[in-house]
């Protein structure tokens, strides 16, 4: 590892640690339509300053030149699941410094507040702690030698275990499971449901062979401590202000990759690894041939396309090229191997991703944003129909950030949520679309009173965003707002979830019978009827996250600002809807005096 790379790694750790020590929590809206690149700009500025200080110190106190080797790897080839007890050279310097800083940080945390479990990003959170508790005993045991990939949403993490035996204490989720994350001030949860912690997701870290992760806001020293130094990691992150796609070695065996954003506007908002939906994918007994068919639409095929779009594919290729010897054991040599080597048969949820950019033509539009949700709804057999007797669908949309809603966009999204063709939507007169009434959408967002009554009060509302100019807009759908209250206890939520329930014309919720599709291309996979569906992931209920349609029925155009990802799955009955929801159902409608929480008007958050 070169001196420059060592300085960069140390600078990241020192910069982030210093910002944690000397600054109040950054009051940046990580999800808003306007300020989504502020945090990254601050990070880059601090990083450059830390590098400058580090270089100045190096000039004052020069050290012996380290033996040059491949950037991003240790000076000696690593072995899977193993790390040297006494690393040498620049890597040793960085790790020693990081360990020292981490010890000091933990000691400060203990003085400031009692230990508590980490609350994962985009989950039921309030006042997250940086400390982890040991994973609880796990109930599904595998006694055979197994290699598996672990998929987590808000996104997907390819966290592939080595071929050594899975320990008898490890819990595996072969059918997939949805849980909220453990949250300070609500553990155990008021509703008694089990939770996930980061340690549950990772399992026995000594057996991890490779990980792909993603987040908008990053703390490299914090996340680095959860992995063995020899484990290669690809981290998908927010681009800088230029919006250019980049691939960079940032830590030993760690690559930071960023996807392209037009003009630097928008947000890489996908969350991998820290999640609420988790499924273990078993290794196939024998790899299947690669199928290059671009129309493949199963979970693995959609996942591969998504990883390609967010710059993981070239990052993986770069990691292998630059570390041919030390990473020879890497269990994934190409993105295509995900579908070839692992068996995705038991995955019943549908992957829905938003890819930032302009998408033109049906073949591209249907693969992303709310048209992709439309396709998933049809696959589940949840299409409502267009006739007079057709069912309606009532949406309950929980999020942590509000968009600039128009009646037209709400109807556009609702059309896709019903499984009705975007072609029909675009085929109608534009002026008629603008005059449609508000659809059956409940926007679930906490009132100011709910925030004030929560465990941490207004100080805990720093990651929930609504602006006065939004709320006061002439046509803003204020009558569609419902209070957000966590089922876990008196805490706030940063979760993004949609509960969609089918409704007959007589206003009674009921199971939907299958109806024939008007297109032979519409595949319906569900066998038993359901009463609705649920979405969980990184998408806030905003046009930036889900996209906005334009163009015409012959040549549609979908513009999306953010990179997002989540899963959609069938709800078999109303009881299941109540169980999976992170918020109390039915949500309570705002009174005439209620207003949403606006952190910009709180004395605790004014800068």
Could you count the other beta carbons within 10 Å of the beta carbon of residue 586?
A: 14
Can you tell me the distance from the alpha carbon of 265 to that of 238, in angstroms, rounded to the nearest whole number?
A: 11
Helix orientation angle between 3-22 and 89-112, rounded to the nearest 10 degrees? 10
Q: Which residue has the tokens 């290729």?
A: 317
Q: Is 271 annotated as ligand-binding?
A: yes
Q: What's the token pair of residue 182?
A: 């453990």
Q: Is the peptide bond before 188 cis (omega within 30 degrees of 0)?
A: yes
Contacts with 233 (C-beta within 8 Å, 6 or more apart), sequence order = 210, 211, 212, 213, 227, 251, 253, 254, 255
Can you tell me the distance from the alpha carbon of 354 to that of 376, in angstroms, rounded to the nearest whole number?
A: 13
Can you tell me the distance from the alpha carbon of 583 to that of 592, in angstroms, rounded to the nearest whole number?
A: 22
- CA within 13 Å, CB half, 294: 5
Q: Is 257 helix (H, G, I), strand (E, B) or coil?
A: strand
* Sign of the torsion angle spanned by Cα atoms 526, 176, 149, 282: negative
Please state, in angstroms and as integers, the Cα–Cα distance from residue 362 to each residue in 384, 404, 553, 564, following that order: 21, 26, 9, 20
Can you tell me the distance from the alpha carbon of 61 to that of 319, in angstroms, rounded to the nearest whole number?
A: 33
- Please identify every residue annotated as catalytic: 269, 494
Q: Is 496 annotated as ligand-binding?
A: yes
Binding residues: 271, 496
Binding residues for substrate: 271, 496
């Amino acid at each position: 590892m070169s001196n420059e790379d060592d300085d960069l790694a140390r600078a990241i750790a020192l910069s982030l640690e210093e910002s944690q020590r000397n600054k109040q929590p950054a009051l940046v809206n990580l999800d808003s339509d306007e300020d989504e690149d502020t945090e990254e700009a601050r990070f880059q500025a601090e990083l450059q300053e830390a590098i400058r200080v580090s270089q100045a110190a190096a000039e004052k106190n020069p050290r012996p030149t380290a033996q040059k080797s491949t950037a991003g790897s240790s000076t000696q080839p690593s072995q899977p699941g193993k790390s040297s007890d006494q690393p040498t050279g620049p890597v040793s310097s960085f790790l020693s410094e990081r360990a020292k800083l981490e010890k000091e940080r933990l000691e400060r945390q203990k003085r400031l507040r009692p230990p508590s479990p980490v609350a994962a990003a985009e989950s039921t959170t309030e006042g997250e702690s940086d400390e982890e508790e040991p994973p609880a005993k796990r109930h599904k045991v595998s006694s055979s030698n197994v290699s598996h990939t672990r998929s987590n949403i808000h996104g997907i993490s390819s966290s592939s275990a080595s071929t050594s035996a899975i320990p008898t204490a490890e819990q595996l989720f072969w059918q997939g499971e949805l849980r909220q994350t453990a949250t300070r001030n609500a553990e155990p949860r008021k509703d008694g449901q089990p939770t996930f912690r980061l340690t549950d997701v990772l399992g026995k870290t000594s057996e991890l062979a490779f990980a792909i992760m993603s987040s908008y806001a990053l703390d490299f020293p914090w996340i680095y401590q959860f992995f063995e130094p020899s484990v290669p990691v690809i981290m998908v992150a927010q681009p800088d202000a230029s919006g250019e796609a980049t691939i960079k070695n940032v830590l030993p065996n760690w690559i930071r990759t960023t996807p392209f954003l037009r003009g630097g506007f928008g947000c890489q908002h996908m969350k991998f690894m820290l999640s609420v939906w988790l499924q273990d994918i078993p290794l196939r007994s024998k790899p299947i041939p690669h199928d290059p068919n671009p129309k493949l639409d199963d979970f693995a095929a959609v996942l591969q396309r998504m990883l390609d779009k967010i710059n993981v594919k070239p990052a993986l290729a770069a990691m292998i090229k630059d570390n041919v010897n030390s990473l020879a054991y890497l269990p994934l040599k190409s993105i295509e191997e995900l579908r070839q080597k692992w068996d995705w048969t038991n995955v019943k949820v549908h992957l829905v991703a938003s890819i930032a950019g302009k998408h033109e033509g049906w073949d591209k539009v249907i693969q992303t944003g709310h048209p992709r949700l439309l396709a998933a709804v049809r696959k589940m057999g949840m299409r409502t129909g267009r006739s007079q007797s057709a069912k309606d669908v009532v949406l309950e949309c929980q999020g942590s950030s509000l968009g600039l809603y128009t009646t037209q966009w709400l109807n556009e999204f609702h059309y896709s949520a019903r499984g009705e063709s975007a072609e029909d939507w675009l085929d109608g007169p534009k002026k008629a679309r603008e005059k449609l009434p508000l659809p059956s959408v409940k926007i679930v967002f906490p009132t100011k009173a709910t925030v004030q009554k929560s465990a941490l009060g207004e100080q805990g509302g720093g990651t929930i965003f609504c602006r006065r100019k939004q709320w006061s807009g002439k046509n803003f759908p204020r009558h569609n707002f419902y209070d957000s209250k966590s089922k876990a206890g008196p805490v706030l939520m940063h979760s993004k979830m949609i509960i969609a329930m089918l409704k007959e014309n007589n206003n009674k919720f009921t199971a939907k019978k299958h109806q024939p599709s008007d297109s032979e291309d519409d595949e319906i996979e569900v066998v038993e009827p359901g009463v609705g569906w649920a979405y969980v992931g990184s998408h806030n209920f905003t046009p930036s996250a889900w996209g906005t349609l334009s163009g015409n029925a012959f040549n549609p155009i979908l513009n999306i600002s953010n990179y997002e990802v989540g899963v959609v799955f069938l709800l078999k009955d109303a009881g299941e809807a109540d169980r999976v929801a992170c918020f109390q159902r039915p949500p309570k409608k705002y009174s005439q005096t209620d207003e949403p929480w606006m952190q910009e008007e709180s004395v605790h958050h004014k800068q």
